[in-house]
Amino acid sequence: MVRTIGVFDSGVGGLSVLHHIRDALPEARLIYVADSAHVPYGGRSAAYIEARSMALTRFLLSQGAEAIVIACNTATAAAALPLRKQFSNIPFIGMEPAVKPAVAATRSNVVGVLATVGTLESARFAALLDKYAGNVKIVTQGCPGLVELVERDELHSVEARSLVERYTAPLLAAGADTFILGCTHYPFLAPLIREVVGEQITLIDTGAAVARELKRRVDSELSPCEMQGVAGSESFYTSGDAEQAARIVSQLWGKQVVVEPLPHAYR
């Protein structure tokens, strides 16, 4: 028996999480869906994102997924609760901006958050601030355009640098010394962000923590699965252009991969 884990995101950003999942579960079969025909989720309504999340979940379950990672902060905010209600027997692991570790890390008592507008406006994010911010000042910055740049594999373009400079400037001006990368696409821009803001700024994302939580829940909630010596595998699907996705996914995943078109019933 092979442990099968499903992962979905609005596009290719969730690959930043998939890298950590592969490290945590080296022998698992991983199925990744990039909903690139509908990217970005940040400007979509909660109802739209919920409907897409339901469709992608049904596809992943049809492929044998035993647990599902919602590798998207915006989709987690909009759809995690209805997904858990609809598919109550499936462990869902979501993403949320890393407010708690950022508050622990800051020395200036100012934390900056780079995220999509959808994440920043969500009730889930407001609850995180109420729970963990305490006396630390949280400065938020919506980042329209960054997701699209990662989707086009423009990680070091002139436009990317311009947007990163524009979005980080208010956080630096406010005295933030710790930045939360509040979207799974943004870790791919971390080297550029580091160039712009300098080595003194701490950058925090949640991919590794999500992978640890996935492993904990898989070990505690799913039936035992003996997989020692089994080679892990990855399958990739997209609702967008498969040929274009294969080029970008191969670049971000670090080796040549095939990306299959998502069946029409789930698009």
pLDDT at position 1 is 64
Q: What percent of the chain has pLDDT over 90?
A: 94
Q: What percent of the chain has pLDDT over 70?
A: 98
Please give the positions annotated as active site. 72, 183
CA distances (Å), 245 to each of 205, 239, 241, in order? 24, 9, 6
pLDDT at position 228 is 61
Asked whether the predicted pLDDT for residue 256 surpasses 90, the reply is yes
Q: What is the mean pLDDT of residues 167-175?
A: 98
Tokens of 153: 């594999």
Band the pLDDT of 8: cuts 50, 70, 90. very high
Asked whether the predicted pLDDT for residue 79 surpasses 90, the reply is yes
pLDDT at position 226 is 66
Q: What is the mean pLDDT of residues 60-82?
A: 97
pTM recorded for the entire structure: 0.94
Per-residue pLDDT tens for 133-169? Answer: 999 999 999 999 999 999 999 999 999 999 999 999 9
Band the pLDDT of 199: cuts 50, 70, 90. very high
pLDDT at position 196 is 98
Contacts of 189 (CB under 8 A, 6+ apart): 146, 149, 150, 155, 160, 164
DSSP 187-240: GGGHHHHHHHH-TTSEEE--HHHHHHHHHHHHHHHSPP---TTPPPEEEEEESS
Phi-psi sector, 145: left (phi>0), alpha (psi -120 to 50), beta:
left
Question: How far is the C-alpha of 259 from the C-alpha of 239, rounded, in Å?
Answer: 10
Domains and CATH numbers, the chain: 4-95+207-266 (3.40.50.1860), 99-204 (3.40.50.1860)
pLDDT averaged over every residue in the chain: 95
Instruction: Specify the 3-state DSSP secondary structure of 112.
Output: strand
Per-residue pLDDT tens for 204-236? Answer: 999 999 999 999 999 999 988 766 666 799 999
